[in-house]
Structure 1
Amino acid sequence: MAKKSNERMKRHDVDEKQTWDLTALFETKSDWEKELKAVKGDLPEVTKYKGKLGDSAGELLECLEAKEKLLERFNLVSMYANLRQSVDHTDPERQKDAAISADVQSKVNSELSFVETEIIKLPDGKINQFLEEEPGLDPFKKYLSDLQDRKPHALGEETEETLAALGSLFSSPYNVYSRGKLSDMQFDSFIDDEGNEIPLSFALYSGKYVASPSAAVRRNSYESFNKTLNHYKHTFAATYATQVNQEVAMARLRNYDSVTDMLLDDQQVTREMYDNQLDIIQEELAPHMRRYANLKKRVLGLDKMTNADLKAPLDPDYKIETSYDEAAETVQEALEIMGPEYSKMIKTALSERWVDYADNVGKSTGAFCSSPYGTHPYVLMTWPDTMRGAFTLAHELGHAGHFYLAGKNQRMTNTRPSRYFIEAPSTMNEMLLGNYLLSNTKDKRKRRWVILQLLGTYYHNFVTHLLEGELQRRVYKLAEEGEPLTASLLSKLKLEVLENFWGDSVEMDEGAGLTWMHQPHYYMGLYPYTYSAGLTVSTLVSQRILDEGEPAVEQWLDVLRAGGTLKPLDLIKKAGVDMSKPEQIREAVAYVGKLITELEESFVE
């Protein structure tokens, strides 16, 4: 009879040390409930300006400041509810609180939608006149300019208010996906190569078993994982189709040529920049990654290279035993190159429970960083018992450092840059961690291990997320042509994307086609491809930091401090990189090729 391992812990059984401390947001849930009620009650402090924003520069400034202050408060309210739910989606009370918060958010958005609608309707030249009359409006200059740019796609005031009121319904596909994935899905255990019965979850599969040194564990967990996904594919396809069709309808309503144009407009990114990321990386990285897959097959002695084996450790006998605390210390040391202010923030984050790294039933999979304005960021991850987790930790602390600095140097309106840039500060920290580890070892085998970790970063951003982006590009095109988005079609498209990229170096099966069900990014607009844009930037800038030292670091920190005060192309140029040039992408891809070449040479006796 197979031996059964311990069940996963419930949230209330988790060691407090492994959880985050939300008291920086609210001391008690009662305090949260009071503020939730107070925010709703204070809405008239903003709505009293309705119909008056064109009267004077002073009225406009007062309204913008009142709105910003109210949103700062509600941001904390919303964040508290969402963070509490993210660590236990099975708890009915947390579900209820998150739903209440979402409803209030719809009310807030609806009540305040008049601000942007009225600003957009102002006559050409009025904003410039107000800016000249009232210096206090200067911090809102980019925000006001961006709103004016949206004039061709704005709808009537009543329509905008109605759409804002429906905000919680527009987020329903994501909520349904998350609830199904994290609350309802139950995976069968699987048998490892020693006959043990091993429990399986989304988090355990993606964070641990997919990279197991045991082919039996990888393939058996993969089979069990896909068996459960297969049971949910039609529901999830309908959920995703709802998301896409809603976006397509909105693009037509706002008079965009396509849903892609609408989503890119929000990011302030050109179609050429978007297509360059998808086309150049797929075309030029594929040969390198096929070499990588063939190397794994040969070195590991696999009968065949399957989708289940792509994350297999290439040197499974070489292990660096690392606890969370040890990894956190390594990350802290690696990021000291960023200077005293940044280093102090990292130390505080790791010592004062900004990070929730426990594994428990109902916890969100993957990792993220939430950065509420006015307090400190919060990082969620599940510690995988491997050094790979150090790169995930460094990544999320990159987001934390970004918004910590932006929040200290900008008002809330100006903290968020385009999503196109968002993944640059996070992947920068992964590059710095990898470079730190490489510079601190002369051991050939350890150097190989570090290269493998860096390749893990490139795999995640230049392969996994990029190919998600390619699927999105195809899905939006078909949806606009009226093609029904069924589970069969989505699986077929995903399989084609994977096969085109990997060629005959990897044998794909039906389970590979189900990887469109793995990630929530499809419910976040054109998010997946931006991971590759961010990593392109961080690859090039991290090399500058290695070559130039402190001047390049200070230049990068200035970019982080700038928050959302610049459009992405201009922001990235401040760091010395021009993303309008395809050569920059090719340079980053070539760096990956060099890493794989060094890896191949390390296995030559």
Structure 2
Amino acid sequence: MKCMSTTRPKRSEIPKEQTWDLSALFSSHDEWEKELSAVTTDVDQITSFKGKLTKNAKTLKEGLTALETYQNRLILVATYANLRSSADGSDAANQRDSARVASAMATIGAKLSFVKNELLTLNSEQIDAYQKEEPALMAFDKMLSDTMEDKPYTLSPELEEAFAALSEVLDAPYMIYERSKSSDMQFADIVDEAGNTQPMSAALYEDRYEFTADTVARRAAYDSFVRTLEQYKNTYAANYATEVNKQVTMSKLRGYDSVTDMLLHPQQVTKDMYHNQLDIIQKELAEHMRRFSKLKKEKLGLSEMRYCDLKAPLDPEYNPKTTFEDAKEIIQDALRVMGDEYSDIIHKGLSERWVDRADNIGKATGAFCSSPYGAHPYVLITWTDTMRGAFVLAHELGHAGHFYLAGKNQNLMNTRASTYFIEAPSTMNELLLANHMMKTDDKQKKRWVISQLLGTYYHNFVTHLLEGAFQRRVYDLAENGTPLTSDVLCSEKLAVLKSFWGDAVEVDEGAGLTWMRQPHYYMGLYPYTYSAGLTVSTLVSQMIQEEGQPAVDRWLEVLKAGGTLKPLDLIKKAGIDMSDPENIRKAVAFVGSLVDELEASYD
């Protein structure tokens, strides 16, 4: 047996060009320290409005303007600490700073809770009158209208202040999950097909081994992954149950009909829209994805298609390695269809160290984009020289482009669109990348691109959608008083997976542990929104192909609108009505057409 290095590098050993440059937030850690200290003191500038915020239009304008400036400072302080922790959660100093920020934010949040409480004393008529007297208040129209919608579910000022003071405790389940996953979980090394010993980590599994053509390594990595998850299942179940029970309790305290109603409320979508995404896609997509899995089984010569084989490349002979530099060029070429302004943003992101692509001890798994107002976005990814990584990078740059444009065109209060829409700009970039790469006469390359595109749909229409289906079951159980033990959670996860894949895939018991993989469960009803976003981007990308510039212009206006519109109205600006379930069926049918094309390519 050959032995290879199994030691992942420390953060300090990573070349600077592979890391993000946080100087756009703070020029040094000392500068951040000073600002953290300053914001804890300067909160008094805002609390000086307590008891008189809504006294008249002038005071309201001055108070909200000061609050907006102050909140922007808080965002930068928190983002800096969060990004350092994501880059290396094992570092004691980063852990300490994250804890300090969480504590400071809880204290500040409690002090600022009066703002919403005093706004709630207003009514729509008073707000209209104030805005006529002080037109500058129109900049806060969304904040004020959202507050009015929250009014029926708001508790007494004393309780709201208490909850704000307890935010660090109430948010603890997510912090515990992230800390444990990045710092405590250890995975046994694996042996690949060639007999080489390879290092194993959660990031390496999710970004490399799941996609490898080496069946021995892929299955060994899955076994290593599952063995470690098994060791933590009871602790993680207790942690997740705490989060769910907290949400259920809060929904009752606030007077919502259900926890689902409470979690959908900030998304500003109806329960029908939520259930349509879960029900229609599960029902109508299953057949297409089963065909795709059977095609993989046949072409890979597998005696059985296991759950851990679902992301294996369809054509192992054509799985081109892609350097980060090559990926940058391909992505920029693909996104030129979006015009100069958008292309310039992407170029900046790829050339000015907005991206952290290293693999080091303590780095958070997966990928994300953080977009602090007043600074440029930051993308975290673990780069593994695969073209699939290019799609993930394009995805995160979609978030970056969206929030960069929203931040440039809206004030802080108006930048954040509903999470129902949030994954549309990101998946749009994946589709544009695929469309660009499909322009080839090379049959094998085109087949490979289709399989990559199906990887996008697998991620959003299968992985995250089934997470949403699992999540719906969990909330139903919790509201009915069923204890959420590890056995219950694993059983429900297995039931969702087996229902979708039928007899096309061997879903082993270890697959039931995969509810432990994602942090999204600590973010409310987030998982299903991936499918909503991809439904939108699927239809809009087709419009761009058919109409060209007019469709691009509409889409850019949607991105620049930020959070100024509710999701239904925002998406209608792009030309799609998401209250019509037929649009979901059209997106699913497109996935079916890709599988058809893939099958036909082998005839």
TM-score, normalised via structure 1 length? 0.99
Give the counterpart letter for 1:15 in structure 2. Answer: P
Match of 2:471 in 1: 472
2:6 and 2:197 in contact (8 A); partners too: no
Give the counterpart letter for 1:403 in structure 2. Answer: F
1:5 and 1:196 in contact (8 A); partners too: no
Match of 2:544 in 1: 545
Match of 1:488 in 2: 487
Give the counterpart letter for 1:164 in structure 2. Answer: A
Q: What is the CA–CA distance in structure 2 between the aligned matches of 1:310 and 1:365, rounded to whole Å? A: 20
Shift of residue 193 of structure 1? 1.5
Shift of residue 2 of structure 1? 4.8
Match of 1:438 in 2: 438
Match of 1:515 in 2: 514
Q: What is the CA–CA distance in structure 2 between the aligned matches of 1:105 and 1:175, rounded to whole Å? A: 14
Give the counterpart letter for 2:227 in structure 1. Answer: K
Match of 1:557 in 2: 556
Give the counterpart letter for 2:528 in structure 1. Answer: Y
The DSSP-based 3-state class of the residue aligned with 2:305 is: coil
Residues 420-431 of structure 1: pairs in structure 2 closer than 5 A: 420-431=420-431
Shift of residue 133 of structure 1? 1.6
Larger mean Cα displacement after TM superposition, 110-119 or 227-236: 110-119
Q: What is the CA–CA distance in structure 2 between the aligned matches of 1:192 and 1:543, rounded to whole Å? A: 41
The DSSP-based 3-state class of the residue aligned with 2:562 is: coil
Match of 2:523 in 1: 524
Shift of residue 319 of structure 1? 2.5
Larger mean Cα displacement after TM superposition, 33-42 or 272-281: 33-42
Shift of residue 194 of structure 1? 1.8
Shift of residue 121 of structure 1? 2.3
Q: What is the CA–CA distance in structure 1 between the aligned matches of 2:401 and 2:282, rounded to whole Å? A: 31
Shift of residue 142 of structure 1? 1.7
Residue deviations 1:319-359, cap 9 Å, x none? Answer: 22210111011101111111111111111111110000011
The DSSP-based 3-state class of the residue aligned with 2:422 is: helix
Residue deviations 1:170-205, cap 9 Å, x none? Answer: 211011111111100110111112221111100000
1:222 and 1:308 in contact (8 A); partners too: yes
Match of 1:602 in 2: 601
Q: What is the CA–CA distance in structure 1 between the aligned matches of 2:93 and 2:389, rounded to whole Å? A: 31
1:121 and 1:151 in contact (8 A); partners too: no
The DSSP-based 3-state class of the residue aligned with 1:379 is: strand
State how many pairs are aligned.
603
Q: What is the CA–CA distance in structure 2 between the aligned matches of 1:141 and 1:292, rounded to whole Å? A: 48
Residue deviations 1:226-285, cap 9 Å, x none? Answer: 011100000000000000000001100100010000000110010000000000000000
Q: What is the CA–CA distance in structure 2 between the aligned matches of 1:594 and 1:505, rounded to whole Å? A: 19
Shift of residue 74 of structure 1? 1.1
Residue deviations 1:374-422, cap 9 Å, x none? Answer: 1100000000221011101100000000000000000000000111000
The DSSP-based 3-state class of the residue aligned with 2:528 is: helix
TM-score, normalised via structure 2 length? 0.99
Shift of residue 123 of structure 1? 3.8
Match of 1:253 in 2: 253
Q: What is the CA–CA distance in structure 2 between the aligned matches of 1:384 and 1:465, rounded to whole Å? A: 22
Whether 1:167 aligns to 2:167 is: yes
Q: What is the CA–CA distance in structure 2 between the aligned matches of 1:124 and 1:506, rounded to whole Å? A: 55
Residue deviations 1:421-447, cap 9 Å, x none? Answer: 0000000000100001112x1111100
Match of 1:25 in 2: 25
Residue deviations 1:457-484, cap 9 Å, x none? Answer: 0000000000000000000010011110
Residues 40-79 of structure 1: pairs in structure 2 closer than 5 A: 40-79=40-79
Residues 18-417 of structure 1: pairs in structure 2 closer than 5 A: 18-417=18-417
Question: Identity of aligned pairs, percent?
Answer: 61
Shift of residue 124 of structure 1? 4.8
Structure 2 gaps, min length 5: none
Give the counterpart letter for 1:196 in structure 2. Answer: N
Q: What is the CA–CA distance in structure 2 between the aligned matches of 1:182 and 1:498, rounded to whole Å? A: 26
Larger mean Cα displacement after TM superposition, 342-351 or 117-126: 117-126
Q: What is the CA–CA distance in structure 2 between the aligned matches of 1:400 and 1:416, rounded to whole Å? A: 12
Q: What is the CA–CA distance in structure 2 between the aligned matches of 1:481 and 1:34, rounded to whole Å? A: 49
1:75 and 1:373 in contact (8 A); partners too: yes
Shift of residue 100 of structure 1? 0.5
Q: What is the CA–CA distance in structure 2 between the aligned matches of 1:457 and 1:171, rounded to whole Å? A: 31
Q: What is the CA–CA distance in structure 2 between the aligned matches of 1:240 and 1:107, rounded to whole Å? A: 25
Residue deviations 1:542-598, cap 9 Å, x none? Answer: 111111111111110000000000000000000001000000000000000000010
2:268 and 2:566 in contact (8 A); partners too: yes
Match of 1:452 in 2: 451
Shift of residue 62 of structure 1? 0.7
Give the counterpart letter for 1:475 in structure 2. Answer: V
Q: What is the CA–CA distance in structure 2 between the aligned matches of 1:25 and 1:507, rounded to whole Å? A: 48
The DSSP-based 3-state class of the residue aligned with 1:526 is: coil
Q: What is the CA–CA distance in structure 2 between the aligned matches of 1:496 and 1:244, rounded to whole Å? A: 20
Q: What is the CA–CA distance in structure 2 between the aligned matches of 1:520 and 1:42, rounded to whole Å? A: 33
Q: What is the CA–CA distance in structure 2 between the aligned matches of 1:33 and 1:321, rounded to whole Å? A: 42
Q: What is the CA–CA distance in structure 2 between the aligned matches of 1:267 and 1:414, rounded to whole Å? A: 14
Shift of residue 4 of structure 1? 3.4
Q: What is the CA–CA distance in structure 2 between the aligned matches of 1:6 and 1:464, rounded to whole Å? A: 29
Q: What is the CA–CA distance in structure 1 between the aligned matches of 2:429 and 2:487, rounded to whole Å? A: 39
The DSSP-based 3-state class of the residue aligned with 2:363 is: coil
The DSSP-based 3-state class of the residue aligned with 1:194 is: coil
The DSSP-based 3-state class of the residue aligned with 1:508 is: coil
Q: What is the CA–CA distance in structure 2 between the aligned matches of 1:348 and 1:471, rounded to whole Å? A: 39
Larger mean Cα displacement after TM superposition, 165-174 or 388-397: 165-174
Q: What is the CA–CA distance in structure 2 between the aligned matches of 1:147 and 1:31, rounded to whole Å? A: 35
